[in-house]
Amino acid sequence: MNFPKVSFGHVTVARIILFQKKPPVSEFTDSVLFALERKENVVHIRLADSDTFYVNIDSENPELIRKSGADLSALVSAKKIKKVSLVSSLDEELNIAFLEGMLLATYEFDRYKSEASRKSIPDEIHLDKSYCSQSVLQELLHVCESVKIARDWVNEPVNFLTAEKLAEEFTKLSASAGFSIEVFDKTKIENMKMGGILAVNLGSPNPPTFSIMEYKPANAVNSKPIVLVGKGVVYDTGGLSLKPTEGSMDFMKCDMAGGAVVGAVLGAVALNKLPLHIIGLVPATENRPSGNAFTPGDIITMFDGTTVEVLNTDAEGRLILADALAFARQYNPALVIDLATLTGSAARAIGKNAAVMMGTADEATKEKLKTSGFKTFERLVEFPLWDDYKESIKSDIADLNNIGGPEAGAITAGKFLEHFTSYPWLHLDIAAPAFLKAQEAYRTKGGTGYGVRLLYNFLKNYR
């Protein structure tokens, strides 16, 4: 046996009691009813050594309930409560939404912070037996853990998270979650003639990587794999087409968010043992100016032989993704979904409340992905992929140019990517929702992991 841990110091214990409409009968019922009349949905009863929060869940909407979970998480943190027990008379789905909001809101990127300045979060959460089933809880914990991993990677600056480090992180996760991985190094990428990745990497002192992750369980229901592709620009200075420091470069460590989501989703799928064959591809590099950097006007030859006139080195994401999308052809995939912090244009068009989606997959698949978007509140807005938009990526001296015109930048970037696909494909531009400058409920400041819960939900319901 283990003796209980005996130590000095006061531990604050809290009970959170969720109810709908009618509070449970207790000595506090009258005070709770009185508070409800005043339209207060959280009633805090404070005794000498314990706190009880009565939480009126005034809704069936999972997103509002996640937000309520995030609110309670903030209260628990502010009061430095270390042990929480959750009691509820709600349905399992709503209980899970509350816990999901609570857990995701506890996140803080604290690796570089001293103990004293870290956010206080509970180290134990106890659930009533009837709160949810063991398997549903386990699944939620794996998904939340995957979101946390994606957030950590996005929040890591490039002086830690180089392309090689990112591949190492994927390798560590592959071992703990249970999927396989192969990492192409610079020599292999050169031998493969992945001209887009190599061009973007030219200005960087650190070599590129190309990570190929695979989860292929014996009970996979899909005979053709689903391939996920993520942009892995570990830092985007713009290259020689340098971004202005003020505002637009500050947060560009987030430019590998698509790649982070792909790695984290492989982790979630493997941990929860979904019966699906899934492949994840992440081309990764920095985009920097230097004496050797690729230069506006350069004509480069991509992995599939397409030539591209580089008119702006800041439109680098599409160059590395194009090589990965062309590489994906060999798998004869049922579906390819790429995620990328690709354009300021997508961010300007719809902001941080949704990702821009476009692609050639059939309507039914698009609908399913959009439905997962609404369910997880990682919503998608579809943009057109009409051929009219192809005009602006034509070049007089090469097959394509990499900037498109002054208008519809998110779409012309999509048209550029489409050129390298030959299978049902969807492109998600997550430029705005991938990274927040201030916390919004359970979406904490910095990397959000936007796309992990969306794709996990889509894959879980696949077919």
- Tell me whether residue 13 or residue 242 sits nearer to ligand BES (CB atom): 242
Interaction site with Zn ion (CB under 5 A):
233, 236, 255, 314, 316-317
- State the minimum distance, in angstroms, from the CB of residue 356 to Zn ion: 15
- Out of ligand BES, Zn ion, none, which partner does residue 431 contact, by CB within 5 to 8 A per kind? ligand BES
Binder among 312, 371, 395, 422 for ligand BES (CB under 6 A): 312
- Tell me whether residue 340 or residue 459 sits nearer to Zn ion (CB atom): 340
- Out of ligand BES, Zn ion, none, which partner does residue 385 contact, by CB within 5 to 8 A per kind? none
Q: Is 348 a catalytic residue?
A: no
Amino acid 314 reads D
Binder among 144, 240, 315, 337 for ligand BES (CB under 6 A): 315
Q: Which residues pair with 335 in a beta bridge?
A: 226
Q: Tell me the C-alpha distance between 373 and 70, whole Å.
A: 20
Q: Is 318 a catalytic residue?
A: yes
Q: Tell me the C-alpha distance between 354 and 379, whole Å.
A: 5
End-to-end CA distance of the chain: 48
- State the minimum distance, in angstroms, from the CB of residue 8 to ligand BES: 48
Residue 289 in the binding site for ligand BES (CB under 6 A): no
Binder among 100, 156, 214, 255 for ligand BES (CB under 6 A): 255
Q: Tell me the C-alpha distance between 354 and 401, whole Å.
A: 28
Binder among 317, 333, 447, 449 for ligand BES (CB under 6 A): 317
Interface mask toward ligand BES for 384-423; x: CB under 6 A: -------------------x-----x--------------
- State the minimum distance, in angstroms, from the CB of residue 187 to Zn ion: 25
Q: DSSP for 177-208?
A: HT-EEEEE-HHHHHHTT-HHHHHHHTT-SS--
- CB 267, CB 381: distance < 8 Å: no
- CB 258, CB 341: distance < 8 Å: yes
- CB 269, CB 218: distance < 8 Å: no
| 3 state DSSP class of 311 | coil
Q: Which residues pair with 279 in a beta bridge?
A: 214, 227
Active-site choice (82, 83, 119, 243)? 243
- Out of Zn ion, ligand BES, none, which partner does residue 169 contact, by CB within 5 to 8 A per kind? none
Residue 373 C-alpha from the chain's centroid: 13
Q: Which stretch binds ligand BES (CB under 6 A): 28-36, 75-83, 149-157, 307-315?
A: 307-315
Active-site choice (148, 231, 318, 453)? 318
Using CB under 6 A as the binding rule, the residues of this chain from 78 to 137 that contact ligand BES are none
- State the minimum distance, in angstroms, from the CB of residue 344 to ligand BES: 4
Sign of CA dihedral 105, 107, 110, 114: positive
Q: Which residues pair with 309 in a beta bridge?
A: 299, 401
- Out of Zn ion, ligand BES, none, which partner does residue 409 contact, by CB within 5 to 8 A per kind? ligand BES
Q: How many CB atoms lie within 10 A of CB 157?
A: 10
Residue 71 in the binding site for ligand BES (CB under 6 A): no
Q: Tell me the C-alpha distance between 441 and 338, whole Å.
A: 27
- Tell me whether residue 279 or residue 342 sits nearer to ligand BES (CB atom): 342
Using CB under 6 A as the binding rule, the residues of this chain from 334 to 373 that contact ligand BES are 341-345, 347
Pick from 446, 451, 393, 443: nearest CA to 417: 393
Q: DSSP for 78-110?
A: HTT--EEEEEE-S-HHHHHHHHHHHHHHT----
Site residues for ligand BES per CB under 6 A: 236, 255, 312, 314-317, 341-345, 347, 403, 409, 431
Catalytic residues, by residue number, are 243, 318
